[in-house]
Amino acid sequence: MRKTETTDVHDILRRAIDWAMEAGHIQREKFRSRHLFMETKSSIHDVVTEVDKACEALLIERISNRYPTHNILGEETGEHRNNPDAEWEWVVDPLDGTNNYSQGLPIYCVSIGVRYKGETQVGVVYVPFMDELFSAVRGEGASWNGRFIHVSRKTDLNECVLATGFPYDKGTNPINNLDNACAIIPNVRGIRRMGSAAYDLCCVASGLLDGYWELDLKPWDACAGALIVEEAGGIIKPFRNDRHISIVAGNKTIVEAIYQKLNANV
């Protein structure tokens, strides 16, 4: 996909990068503020800050002004159906890693994925504290601060460092990834729990991590990062059909090795 009658993916990429960095500037300015307003959403573990809301408002305004016929799906405000017949949709996580951000931990990012007829065409993830930009256009490879990237080429799970995460309802839902972690931890070099699915996926894409799995993700968590992994030569494989988006990411060999140890029902 390069161009439709009205929309050029490279124009989308440039603007998504600009807007992600603009949101990132807001995040840096407020980071480790002593007066950060925060409230809970679905549970006491699921939080949102004033910065999440400000960044989503900014992104929605920018997208709607430039692409008024495109729809938007945002983590904080849900669907914005600017056009019932729209073929383009922006999937936005204005601040992925809110728990980290609210604690003053520097792993957080802006994630923007753009779909055409349901298939992601552009992915942008910006990590403000480290000034790291990951991006991809379908069919054109993935980059990290302007350099093309590739997933890890390791083939032995025992040599791998993986990442995972746990759902917000981990205390009440028995399908909470604890069994998977217990099955995998003895068989790998290390496990990391970074606290941002979008950043985890970008670390897999760039080879900083050898693989990743998580369950109960939402579209805004994975839309951009999944494309970046695929364009970096990796694969995304689902492993449950009862917990929203549940995926394994990495090169084909490592994904299969992880999958064999998961409690999967796909």
pLDDT digits (tens, 9 = 90+) for 141-174: 999 999 999 999 999 999 999 999 999 999 999 9
Tokens of 13: 């990429």
Buried-state track 116-155, b at ≥16 Cβ within 10 A, e below 16: beeebbbbbbbbbbeebbbbbbbeeebbbeeeebebbebe
Per-residue CA distances from 232 to 33, 203, 255 (Å)? 36, 11, 14
Q: What pTM was computed for the model? A: 0.94
Residue 177 lies in a domain: yes
Widest pairwise Cα distance in the chain: 53
CATH (domain of 130): 3.30.540.10
Final residue belonging to a domain, choices 120, 148, 176: 148
DSSP string, 131-189: TEEEEEETTS-EEETTEE--------GGG-EEE----TTTTT-S-SSHHHHHHHGGGSS
Which pLDDT belongs to residue 6?
Answer: 55
Task: Report how far residue 85's alpha carbon sits from residue 146's, in angstroms, rounded to the nearest whole number.
Answer: 35
Q: Tell me the percentage of the chain whose pLDDT exceeds 70.
A: 97
Per the structure, the complete domain to which residue 165 belongs is given by 157-259
From 148, 177, 203, give the residue that closes a domain. 148
One domain for residues 165 and 84: no
Residues 218 and 138 in one domain: no
- Determine the Cα–Cα distance for residues 212 and 226; give it in Å rounded to an integer: 11
Pair 167, 250 in one domain: yes
240 domain-assigned: yes
Low-confidence ranges of the chain (pLDDT < 50): 1-5
pLDDT digits (tens, 9 = 90+) for 97-124: 999 999 999 999 999 999 999 999 999 9
Please give the tally of structural domains in the chain: 2
Question: Is residue 2 assigned to a domain?
Answer: no
